[in-house]
Amino acid sequence: MQWKKHFMLLVTSILLVGILAACGNSEKDEAKTGESEEKKVLKLGTSADYAPFEFVDTAKSDEIIGLDIDIVNAIADKLGYEIQAQDIDFNSLPTALENGTVDLVASAMNATEERKKTLDFSDNYYSAANMIVTTKDSTIKTVEDLKGKTVGVQLASVQEELATKLNKDGITMTIEKRNRVNEIVQELMVGRVDAAIIEDEVAKGHLANNETLVAHTIKTDEEAEGYAIAFPKNSDLTEKFNAELKKMKESGELDELIAKWMKSETK
């Protein structure tokens, strides 16, 4: 009977070694293929009311899509991150970064000197102009025509800053602020504002969906506003994302994404 015990121990030992070897090989294989590795999740803040930069096509899904989303996803994938986008009112995005609610923001945001005091930014990835949007029966076509009018702008946006500056420069107007661009357009449609100041590509999207609207580009001697990805102050993500953004510019990948989302109309 003693020999049977030794035999059983030997069989058990062989089986155990085989199992351990199989597990070891499986782990090595998974490490090679990356199947066992989980990407670190980065929380992205964006105001999903700003097509074609960030929006939801409700006819297809509840997913946030757009140029900004594609750019961030492309960079994150190269760096080994996974992006989870959160829809947040534009004026609340800087606070969300500062208190850690999100790790980064891509929302057609300008890297203004005021924002740079509390946030870090990538290089610009897109330059934009502004338009005056009105109904077709309006006589408003230029900045000067806004004098004495009620003008809608998005809260905490560069367009709000522009309207405020125009007021100081003597183009006195009543400024109505709303959280979402869609709300501003709705106010324009029902006559609660005389005009709206909206970024050009976003304005084109609304014109395409509503034939009663027209838009006029605001002429300026200043360089077009640039959009950048925002990060908390001193974030280690800033340099990483900026390096990949630079590669996308050099390779033409960024231009391809811009062409994918932008309208073909001349600005």
What does the pLDDT read at residue 30? 45
Query: Other CB atoms closer than 10 Å to residue 225's CB: what's the count?
Result: 21
What does the pLDDT read at residue 264? 38
Query: Using CA atoms, how far apart are residues 42 and 82, in angstroms rounded to an integer?
Result: 6
How much is the mean pLDDT over the chain?
Answer: 88
The model's confidence at residue 222, banded by pLDDT at 50, 70 and 90, is low
Q: Which two tokens stand for residue 26?
A: 């499986």
pLDDT at position 50 over 60: yes
Contact 146, 162 (CB under 8 A): no
pLDDT at position 27 over 60: no
Compute the average pLDDT of residues 147-169.
96
Compute the average pLDDT of residues 211-223.
83
Percent of the chain predicted with pLDDT > 90 = 79
pLDDT at position 37 over 90: no
What does the pLDDT read at residue 12? 52
DSSP 218: P
| Element holding 241 (H helix, E strand) | helix 237-251
The model's confidence at residue 100, banded by pLDDT at 50, 70 and 90, is very high
Span between the terminal Cα atoms of the chain, in Å: 93
pLDDT at position 120 over 50: yes
Query: Other CB atoms closer than 10 Å to residue 191's CB: what's the count?
Result: 9
Side-chain-facing half-sphere of 131: CA atoms under 13 Å: 23
Judge residue 66's burial from the number of C-beta atoms within 10 Å of its C-beta, 0-12 exposed, 13-18 middle, 19 or more buried: buried
Q: Sign of the CA dihedral 96, 98, 99, 100?
A: positive
Judge residue 196's burial from the number of C-beta atoms within 10 Å of its C-beta, 0-12 exposed, 13-18 middle, 19 or more buried: buried
What does the pLDDT read at residue 224? 56
The model's confidence at residue 147, banded by pLDDT at 50, 70 and 90, is very high
DSSP string, 113-151: HHHHTTEEE----EEE-EEEEEETT----SGGGGTTSEE
Compute the average pLDDT of residues 62-67.
97
pTM (2 d.p.)? 0.79
What does the pLDDT read at residue 219? 83
pLDDT at position 195 over 60: yes
Q: Sign of the CA dihedral 239, 241, 244, 250?
A: negative
Compute the average pLDDT of residues 190-202.
96
What does the pLDDT read at residue 39? 82
Query: Using CA atoms, how far apart are residues 113 and 118, in angstroms rounded to an integer?
Result: 10
What does the pLDDT read at residue 7? 47
pLDDT at position 8 over 70: no
Contact 210, 114 (CB under 8 A): no
pLDDT at position 267 over 50: no
Long-range contacts formed by 182-188: CB under 8 A, 24+ apart: 182/49, 184/152, 184/153, 184/154, 185/133, 185/210, 185/213, 187/152, 188/133, 188/134, 188/135, 188/152, 188/213
